[in-house]
Amino acid sequence: MNPYAYHSCLAERMHRFVDLRQLVGKDYCGQARFLSYFDRFLSEHRWSRQWITCEIIRSYRDSLAHLNIATQRCRMPVVRQFCIHLSVFEPRCYVPVKGEWTLHACPQRLPFIFTRTQVGTLLEAAGQLSPLPFPLRPHVYQMFFGLLYVTGMRISEALSLNVGDVDLQRQRIFVRKGKFGKQRWLPLADSTAARVQSYLDRRLCGCSSTADSPLFVSLHGNRLPKGSAEHNFRCLVRAYGISQRGRDHPKPHSLRHSFACHCLLKWYRQGVDINARLPVLATYMGHADMRYTYRYLHATPELLDEANRRFLNPYHQIINTEVTHE
């Protein structure tokens, strides 16, 4: 069901378009929200035609120029999909060319990558949050941020977890509401499973313990709101001065980027075949295409050092062999 109301002259067409996408099994809630921004833009510009023109698409694209590339790439594809749908009924409708929506993009800031020390500081700080008026508060946020880091889950996926999604007997968590409706099992390390068990022991004492009750709860036992999680995260990173020059401000999603980079760093240090492991990382992160996984792999100083060491190692062996023979 589409929770967004459209108000432009194309509102009825938009509602039918979203309904059609959802009827074929797509969640489409995120895309419906992005389409509402375009609907608001049309309303503000008093658009009265029953089709879309090239000029209005360019105006809308220019209005997004202050946003980063990733945000533009989220907002424009759904507009293109809607235009394709609308062109069936209105042949005069302009359909944007794929990729034309990032022509006026602002320079993209590098995502924040936590060091292991910074992750430890964040989790320790979360465990020291005031338990008033909610005794579970420090345990909820320490477990929530910790799980984001060790599993690389999206914040929406973690917030959607229910008690029944945790299978500690097999040490795994079921991501029921992944991006685009995809689902997956995430294996857990022994230490992570032990932490989750400890959290559940506290969580189940004071709140509902049914399988469909939320894993992460707020004051009244309801599902933890995204806004509350993001607010507490910002307060913690500011209070403890967690930042890096030249990179974006830390966000909960930064933990997902950090997870991917730290996995790669660990594999480099273990000497494993990176190319063979990348599909495993992509599957674990819920990516159907490796291209999306590459966006999370960033050149941190530690990673560059390990890559450089692996590159030079064969040459050091050759040099040492030649010196020995001499």
Catalytic site positions:
154, 179, 253, 256, 287, 296
264 vs 98: CA distance, rounded Å: 32
DSSP single-letter state for residue 135? T
Distance CA 137, CA 140 (A): 5
- In the three-class reduction of DSSP (H, G, I as helix; E, B as strand; rest coil), residue 140 is classed as helix
Specify burial of residue 121 (Cβ count, 10 A radius: 0-12, 13-18, 19+). middle
| Tokens 């420090």 -> residue | 138
Please state, in angstroms and rounded to a whole number, the distance separating the CA atoms of residues 154 and 229: 13
- The closest of 39, 116, 113, 49 to 79, measured between CA atoms, is 39
Residue of 39, 63, 62, 64 lying closest to 52 (CA atoms)? 39
Q: Are 68 and 108 in contact (CB under 8 A)?
A: yes
Sheet harboring 166-167: ordered strands across?
A: 166-167, 172-175, 184-187
User: What's the rounded Cα separation, in Å, for the pair 168 and 318?
Assistant: 49
223 phi, psi to nearest 5 deg: -65, 140
Give CA 181 to chain center in angstroms: 14
